[in-house]
Structure 1
Amino acid sequence: MTKMTLKYSAVLLLIVSLGFMGCKKLDDMSRDPTKPTTTEPQFLLTGAQKSAMDVLYSNLQNGFIGMHYAQYWSANSRVADSQYQLDEGNNTTFWNNLYRISLHNLNEIILMNQAKQGQPGVANQNAIAQIMTAWIFEMLADTYGNVPYSQAFQNTSNITPKYDDAQAIYNSLLDILQAQITILDASQTSYNTGDIIYNGDVESWRRLAHSLMLRIAIRMADAHPDKAKEIIEAHYQYAISSNKESAQFQYLSTVPNRFPYNDADRALIDYAVSTTLVDYMQSINDPRLPIYARPAAEDGVIRGLIYGLSTSDPLHLSESHYSQPGKQVYSATMPGILMGYPEVEFILAEAAARGMNVGNAATHYNNGVRASITYWRDLSGATNINENTIQAYLDQVPYEAADWKNVIGTQKWLALYLQGFQAWFERTRLQFKKPGGEPLFILPKSGSLDRSVAEVPYRLTYPVIEQTQNKVSYDEAATAVGGDLKGTKLWYNKF
């Protein structure tokens, strides 16, 4: 972590994070952001939630990294990002925003509440902050591998924190989430305002904690199958069980609280949907395709752009020839999804396929597909999708036990659309193909610009500034993970 990461003052943090935030609704904020000494935990929580979602769904991080590595989108102009050339500014912003704003705000809530121990709602406030913290640290561990954790906010004098082992971080996060599940008390208040995700509802946060434990456990299913089985079997019945219970951050139609990348004020032409996505969805008559992609301006046809195709290649035509992401995807009010119900069902489908006692794999698989289609239908207002449409689709993409990894993997990938980072993590973890075994993903058409990457990056390299401002810890971490390269596999991908 950089000097700025740990020496970032509370004053500057609050100016950055509170100047554009709100309470129960984002546009309700009326507090003066230049007077941070009067702040309260709810404002810090709003800041943590919004800053994390803003960077996870921004054009520069989600668009050029997550959505590219998941191969949902192709670049119309900056094709180097599709060819795995990482923009260091985008990388550093991702790292710094999660540490310097989101995690720091959450840590400040807990520090601020130390003097209020025993007061109504304080334990719930801290537990919610800890659940958010666990979610963000898992994001960092899944993105980079080993990262600063135990010493990240130990004290302001430690400007060179060590990088903790990612596997040890996973184990710690499981312990933390389990503890918060026990601490949360629905008979007590929590955040009366400031919680954009669940409006302070304690039971919803408890469900999310159970669900995050499922996500962590399924990621380690190959590395530690017995532990993954124990966790999933103990928590699956208490996880998110409907689209209404999904954890998401609702953006608004007004500036500055719009979805980070939207076309409310101008046309967005940075990306086209990839041929990988379009061709596969067309081949299975997926009813979500008109929601995921809009017709090409040139002729009204939904058409993808070959992934990683250089602009100098004669096959790369003008942006009007290709389909841009759908109108709902670029909507100012598109929610930022932290974790949705479809993901939970696909986790359980995979768990059942692996022999865990969580119910029937086919049932969970069908539930996941159905939940994803209805989520996007209801969000976009599509009127052409009904029960008959969904059943016909399920009949076309049935669950096949002998091919579970490809069947579940492809549908989970489709369900995670727009959640670029999560879809990328699942792509590298499951290594799935189309049902039947035909490759789904392609290599960048014009070649990779990173010699360490054979097919797709497994991680992001650490921000370059770490090599100078935290060199000893950086060098140790680079050695420990097997080399600070995008082609280096994460610990759970080595099995």
Structure 2
Amino acid sequence: MKNLFEFRKIAVFLLGLILVTGCDDQLSEINTNPYGIDPANANPNLLMPTVLTSSAQSYLGLGFNDLAGAMQYTQKNGWYSSHNNYEWVSRNWTGWYDILRTNDLMITRGEDMDNAFFQGIGLTMKSFVFGNIADLWGDAPYSDALMGDEGSDQFQFPKFDSQEAIYDGIIADLQEAATLLASASTEGVTAGNDLIYGADIDSWRRFTNSLLLRYYMRLSEKKPDVAKAGIEAIYSSGIYIQDASQDATLDYTGGSNDIWITRHVRLNPDDFQRYQACQTFIDQLTMTDDPRLPVFFDSVRVQWVADETLDVAAESFIRADGEPIESIYTFDEFEEEYADVKFTRHFNPNLADYNSDLYVGLPPSILTPESYNGNPIPGQGTQNLHVSQLDPIYSTAGSAGDILKARIISAAEVSFIFAEGALKGWSVGDAETHYNMGIEQSLQVWEKADMYEEFIAQPDVMFNSTLEQIITQKWVANWSNGTEAFADYRRTGYPDLSAGPLSPQPEVALRFQYGNDEYNNNPDNISAALNNLEVTDYSGNFGQDSQWSKPWLYQGTSVPF
């Protein structure tokens, strides 16, 4: 038995040796995917849609979610800690760098093919993505990024470039992109794969220069001479987005895999119902009688009515056109039976304090938003009969026509940039003209252009030559684009926002914390980035890597605090 056992061991060893020897010669062949595409032969037409859709949808995802909460466009009544209360701990940027890797291959293939179009839009999208990283975190891997396949530890564990260096690189890349696009052709380009502009080179040139305007203005406090010269040059060229029809946007078709962000959770109404108006934004819209209000939000489903004759704090039933009908707990069951009916509920203002307006928002960062304003059926993600949620167009795929888009940059933003520049005394035209144009372009986007003359005549809307008014109206125009509004707020301190009671600090947060991936895998290089952050009075127990620490762009300034 022992000899037989030894023989089997020897046989297994010899068989393994034969297999290893035989496989060694063919190892690379066996491990090659016959259906894979060699990156050296990748078609940039097939890379382009991934870059454009991922960039636009990621940007909308930020601007409609956590940064919409920070900028007090919306609050959530369920699963709201990051949206309402700035719990931005350990935020990884993996998705953004995934986009950059694909984009980098598109640029490389554009160079290989001597195709200025793919190089130009690649540099534009590279700038857009790195701009978001620098805006939201601060220092980040930049010059050594996207080179992990080089094999060196230098690239496997990339250093963090300063936020200043990244912004300088963004401006240089956008300038190069503008030069490339000026001489580009669409030969070899599949127009249908350009999901933003359909391979229209003039549109890309306007987009590229408009992003330059954004980042020049971003640097206007730290490098005013650079910003002034850059913005004046682009204004003089006339090559920038000038009409809402030229906005850089990604359409949502309404297909099963291409639906607006609030419908991404299939068959789950909670995903839509969580989004509630923020009272800060409602106050701005109602104060100016803004015609965009009913496009952004629905009125409350049941409006409170003050009634001092009640001997209880509030009625336990709902009224339809003033007549009692049903218990509040069965509202959903009979709502459709009463078409064109106004639903109300009475309360005694001496015994209870409820907001009786037609449009009601959640105050920012409150303790129990799901119960606010007397909601009779509180719960995470449930509807609140007495608080405004998003307008119904945001809940049904494809129902909003041309309104719902992932908007990267708009004519309205460009006009407000010029208005701010003019207010600084730069040679970019008249501040009031640009301010009024920004409002008109935004109303056009939200299909309220016919209300422009009436709206612009409102006392609180008529131009008063202040930066606060320009940025406040820019904030309104940036609805669904909270990321850019967030950048303006940190740069100017406008609009005037106050953090709510559940915020860890009394000020609105400034940045995302670095993700655990960097701490775990690139600890030596993240240390320098942390040292470049300025600890503020509000950094709290997080220390340097706090949501309330200041990156380079806001250091040495008194805004927003």
TM-score normalised according to structure 2 size? 0.73
Per-residue CA deviations over 1:160-198 (Å, capped at 9, x if unaligned) read 111111111111111111111111125443632311011
2:483 is the alignment partner of 1:485:
no
| SS, match of residue 481 in structure 1 | coil
| SS, match of residue 249 in structure 1 | strand
Find the partner of 1:109 among 94, 106, 118: 106
Equivalence for 2:467? 405
Equivalence for 1:189? 187
2:476 is the alignment partner of 1:475:
no
Alpha-carbon distance between aligned partners in 2 of 1:36 and 1:280, rounded to the nearest angstrom: 53
| SS, match of residue 446 in structure 2 | helix
Aligned length: 433
Q: Which amino acid aligns with 1:180?
A: A
Equivalence for 1:234? 233
> Within 5 Å, which residues of 2 pair with 1:109-128?
109-117=106-114, 122-128=115-121
Deviation at 1:83, TM superposition (A): 1.5
Tell me the C-alpha RMSD between the 2 structures.
Answer: 2.2
Q: Which amino acid aligns with 2:457?
A: D
Cα gap change, 1:190/1:274 in structure 2, threshold over 3 Å: closer, same or farther? farther
| SS, match of residue 131 in structure 1 | helix
Per-residue CA deviations over 1:117-148 (Å, capped at 9, x if unaligned) read 3xxxx121111111111111111111111111
Alpha-carbon distance between aligned partners in 2 of 1:294 and 1:312, rounded to the nearest angstrom: 18
TM-score normalised according to structure 1 size? 0.83
2:492 is the alignment partner of 1:447:
no
Cα contact 2:412–2:477 (8 A) shared by 1: yes
2:300 is the alignment partner of 1:296:
yes
Equivalence for 1:54? 57
Cα contact 1:329–1:418 (8 A) shared by 2: no
Q: Which amino acid aligns with 1:279?
A: D
Q: Which amino acid aligns with 1:347?
A: I
| SS, match of residue 308 in structure 1 | coil
Cα contact 2:276–2:388 (8 A) shared by 1: yes
| SS, match of residue 272 in structure 1 | strand
| SS, match of residue 516 in structure 2 | coil
2:362 is the alignment partner of 1:305:
yes
Alpha-carbon distance between aligned partners in 2 of 1:374 and 1:214, rounded to the nearest angstrom: 22
Deviation at 1:39, TM superposition (A): 4.6
Cα gap change, 1:265/1:370 in structure 2, threshold over 3 Å: closer, same or farther? farther
Deviation at 1:492, TM superposition (A): 2.4
More off after superposition, 72-81 vs 406-415: 72-81
Equivalence for 2:17? none
Per-residue CA deviations over 1:2-45 (Å, capped at 9, x if unaligned) read xxxxxxxxxxxxxxxxxxxxxxxxxxxxxxx9744475212211
Find the partner of 1:269 among 264, 268, 273: 273
Cα contact 1:243–1:340 (8 A) shared by 2: yes
Cα gap change, 1:199/1:190 in structure 2, threshold over 3 Å: closer, same or farther? farther
Alpha-carbon distance between aligned partners in 2 of 1:228 and 1:386, rounded to the nearest angstrom: 32
Alpha-carbon distance between aligned partners in 2 of 1:186 and 1:313, rounded to the nearest angstrom: 54
Q: Which amino acid aligns with 2:77?
A: N
Cα gap change, 1:407/1:62 in structure 2, threshold over 3 Å: closer, same or farther? closer
Equivalence for 2:457? 395
Cα contact 1:79–1:309 (8 A) shared by 2: no
| SS, match of residue 532 in structure 2 | helix
More off after superposition, 278-287 vs 105-114: 105-114
Cα contact 1:45–1:195 (8 A) shared by 2: yes
More off after superposition, 46-55 vs 407-416: 46-55
Deviation at 1:329, TM superposition (A): 4.0
Alpha-carbon distance between aligned partners in 2 of 1:107 and 1:321, rounded to the nearest angstrom: 49
Alpha-carbon distance between aligned partners in 1 of 2:74 and 2:214, rounded to the nearest angstrom: 24
> Within 5 Å, which residues of 2 pair with 1:16-27?
none
2:166 is the alignment partner of 1:169:
yes
Equivalence for 1:142? 135
Deviation at 1:431, TM superposition (A): 0.6
Cα gap change, 1:303/1:312 in structure 2, threshold over 3 Å: closer, same or farther? closer
Deviation at 1:159, TM superposition (A): 1.8
Cα gap change, 1:481/1:204 in structure 2, threshold over 3 Å: closer, same or farther? same
Cα contact 1:428–1:456 (8 A) shared by 2: no
Alpha-carbon distance between aligned partners in 2 of 1:34 and 1:476, rounded to the nearest angstrom: 43
Cα gap change, 1:478/1:79 in structure 2, threshold over 3 Å: closer, same or farther? same
Per-residue CA deviations over 1:357-401 (Å, capped at 9, x if unaligned) read 000000000000011011101xxxxxxx453x2112111111112
Alpha-carbon distance between aligned partners in 2 of 1:426 and 1:344, rounded to the nearest angstrom: 13
Cα contact 2:147–2:156 (8 A) shared by 1: no
Cα contact 1:229–1:356 (8 A) shared by 2: yes
Equivalence for 1:201? 200
Cα contact 1:233–1:357 (8 A) shared by 2: yes
Alpha-carbon distance between aligned partners in 2 of 1:223 and 1:281, rounded to the nearest angstrom: 32
Q: Which amino acid aligns with 2:55?
A: A
2:273 is the alignment partner of 1:281:
no
Alpha-carbon distance between aligned partners in 2 of 1:188 and 1:79, rounded to the nearest angstrom: 46
Percent identity over the alignment? Answer: 26
Alpha-carbon distance between aligned partners in 1 of 2:513 and 2:426, rounded to the nearest angstrom: 35
Cα gap change, 1:188/1:78 in structure 2, threshold over 3 Å: closer, same or farther? closer
Cα contact 2:497–2:508 (8 A) shared by 1: no
Q: Which has the larger radius of gyration?
A: 2
Consecutive unaligned residues of structure 1, counting only runs of 5 or more, are: 1-32, 378-384, 434-439
